[in-house]
């Protein structure tokens, strides 16, 4: 009986509407939640691209009042969450709509937590720290990578400590995710590359995670194939809506996989790195990916062989050592093809920073499901290799 219980897996997901035009259903869902006044959360870049105005108009046409909050940084800061929660409460809002990439969506999750609990957002770091249901969340992602629109993660930047905290709870899984590939056409090739590689990392880490299972593996493998087969072509032709749809589908599937299987050392180290230097999350993941694969490979050889096959490598007759080498080469080539070739040193990381980065990474919840148990020194070595 105990073995059966140990093998149980839960799977949480929002209600999902996927496809061109999905964003236009926002007012219908707001009505179904009994919205009185809506807090519309976004950031300046998404607002400048025109998506905020379009969603606001749809809400107005549906008869809803809204309050706009766009004071969100690329890595959402704890003080921005607190400011947004104050606006939510002052204006009597009872529903949150977020439009944008991972930053507005994570900020919106944080706003919901604070508005309900009346405590500082940094007090909720960790797993299952949320005690009460938060307001309904309707998310409209405008990037194809972070998957905050389907996940039970919220990542918030603590500027004072120069680190990111992870909040992991099914309470922050959005109620509705309106996944519309048309919203990603305003991304430039660099952002397309960063977010696409982020989705690939989500999928690979979820597949080899110690928390993985049949429900997550199918989504992870689909995501790896979709990103591997379409991302390079999309970066070369960002206007191709069919390619955008395929990569966004891959991002969604990767999100469903990692939200339930959790992640690994790439994300633990990336969260530490991004908080320390305020770098784009997808870029941090890209700089670390092949180095963490090398560290983990012997602890999940069979699974990494499947990853290699899913990325188009014919592994028949290959030793595990050769599979390792070919997978490394494939990952490096994909990054090169989308223009992500920098190492940590080029982004300002010094050897003297590594002990601090490692001390924070080893405390991140994502490290707990890494396939190979990691010490602080292990993490330091991987950072050193990534310089």
CATH of the domain at 292: 1.20.1090.10
Residue 48 is part of a domain; what is its CATH number?
3.40.50.1970
CA 182 to chain centre: 19
Per the CB < 8 A criterion, the answer to whether 289 and 193 are in contact is no
What span, in angstroms and rounded, lies between the C-alpha atoms of 77 and 71?
10
Mean pLDDT score, 205-221: 97
Mean pLDDT score, 267-276: 93
**Could you say which of 155, 183, 211 is where a domain stops?**
183
Closest to 16 in 3D by CA, of 27, 34, 29: 29
Same domain, 196 and 140: no
Same domain, 176 and 220: no
Same domain, 152 and 198: no
Strands 37-41 and 95-100: parallel
Same domain, 242 and 363: yes
**Could you say which of 183, 217, 234 is where a domain stops?**
183
Same domain, 204 and 339: yes
Per-residue pLDDT of 328-340, as tens digits, reads 999 999 999 999 9
pLDDT attached to residue 4: 57
Same domain, 168 and 235: no
**Could you say which of 183, 205, 223 is where a domain stops?**
183
What span, in angstroms and rounded, lies between the C-alpha atoms of 272 and 357?
6
Mean pLDDT score, 163-183: 96
Q: In this structure, is the dihedral angle defined by the CA atoms of residues 110, 113, 118 and 124, taken in order, positive or negative? A: negative
Same domain, 305 and 271: yes
Burial class (CB in 10 A: 0-12, 13-18, 19+), 278: middle
Mean pLDDT score, 189-204: 96
Mean pLDDT score, 53-75: 97
- 66: which DSSP letter? E
Same domain, 283 and 150: no
Mean pLDDT, the chain, integer:
96
**Rounded to two decimals, what is the model's pTM?**
0.95
- Number of folded domains that form the chain: 2
pLDDT band at 306 (very low <50, low <70, confident <90, very high): very high
Tokens 């490394």 belong to 328
pLDDT band at 6 (very low <50, low <70, confident <90, very high): low
Closest to 137 in 3D by CA, of 104, 166, 165, 167: 104
* Strands annotated E in the chain: 15-18, 37-41, 65-69, 95-100, 126-127, 137-141, 153-158, 163-168, 176-179
Looking at the DSSP bridge assignments, the partners of residue 39 are: 67, 96
Backbone dihedral angles phi then psi of residue 73, each to the nearest 5 degrees: -85, 165
Closest to 110 in 3D by CA, of 53, 162, 171: 171
Same domain, 295 and 224: yes
Q: How far apart are the first and last CA of the chain?
A: 48
Same domain, 13 and 30: yes
Same domain, 70 and 171: yes
pLDDT attached to residue 276: 87
Closest to 113 in 3D by CA, of 130, 128, 99: 130
Domain residue limits at 282: 189-386
Per-residue pLDDT of 99-144, as tens digits, reads 999 999 999 999 999 999 999 999 999 999 999 999 999 999 999 9
Same domain, 119 and 250: no
Secondary structure of residue 317 in the 3-state scheme: coil
pLDDT attached to residue 8: 80
**Residue by residue, what is the 3-state secondary structure of 241-255?**
HHHHHHHHHHHHHHH
């Amino acid at each position: 009986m105990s073995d059966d219980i140990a093998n149980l897996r839960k799977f949480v997901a929002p209600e999902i509407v996927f496809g061109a035009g999905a964003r236009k259903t926002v007012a219908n869902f707001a009505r179904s939640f009994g919205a009185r006044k809506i807090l519309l959360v976004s950031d300046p870049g998404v607002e400048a691209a025109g998506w905020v105005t379009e969603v606001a108009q749809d809400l107005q046409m549906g008869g809803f009042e809204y309050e706009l909050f766009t004071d969100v940084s690329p890595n959402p800061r704890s003080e921005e969450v607190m400011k947004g929660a104050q606006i939510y409460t002052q204006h009597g809002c009872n529903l949150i709509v977020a439009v944008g990439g991972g930053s507005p969506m994570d900020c919106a999750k944080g706003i919901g937590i604070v508005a309900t609990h009346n405590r500082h957002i940094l007090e909720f770091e960790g797993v299952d720290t949320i005690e009460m249901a938060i307001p309904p969340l309707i998310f409209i992602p405008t990037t194809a990578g972070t998957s905050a629109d389907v996940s039970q993660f919220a990542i918030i930047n603590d500027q004072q400590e120069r680190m990111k905290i992870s909040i992991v709870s099914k309470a922050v899984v959005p109620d509705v995710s309106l996944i519309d590939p048309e919203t990603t056409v305003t991304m430039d090739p660099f952002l397309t590359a960063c977010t696409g590689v982020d989705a690939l990392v989500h999928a690979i880490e979820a597949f080899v995670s110690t928390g993985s299972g049949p429900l997550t593996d199918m989504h992870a493998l689909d995501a790896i194939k979709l990103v591997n087969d379409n991302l390079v072509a999309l970066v070369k032709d960002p206007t191709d809506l069919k390619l955008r749809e395929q990569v966004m589908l891959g991002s969604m599937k990767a999100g469903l996989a990692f939200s339930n299987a959790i992640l690994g050392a790439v994300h633990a180290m990336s969260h530490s790195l991004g908080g320390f230097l305020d770098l784009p999350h997808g870029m941090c993941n890209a700089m670390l990916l092949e180095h963490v694969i090398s560290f983990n490979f012997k602890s999940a050889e069979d699974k990494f062989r499947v990853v290699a096959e899913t990325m188009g490598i014919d592994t028949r007759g290959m030793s595990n050592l050769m599979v390792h080498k070919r997978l490394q080469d494939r990952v490096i080539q994909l990054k090169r093809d989308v223009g992500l070739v920098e190492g940590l040193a080029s982004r300002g990381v010094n050897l003297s920073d590594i002990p601090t980065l490692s001390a924070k990474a080893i405390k991140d919840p994502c490290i707990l499901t890494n396939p190979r148990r990691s010490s602080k020194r292990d993490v330091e070595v991987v950072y050193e290799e990534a310089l």
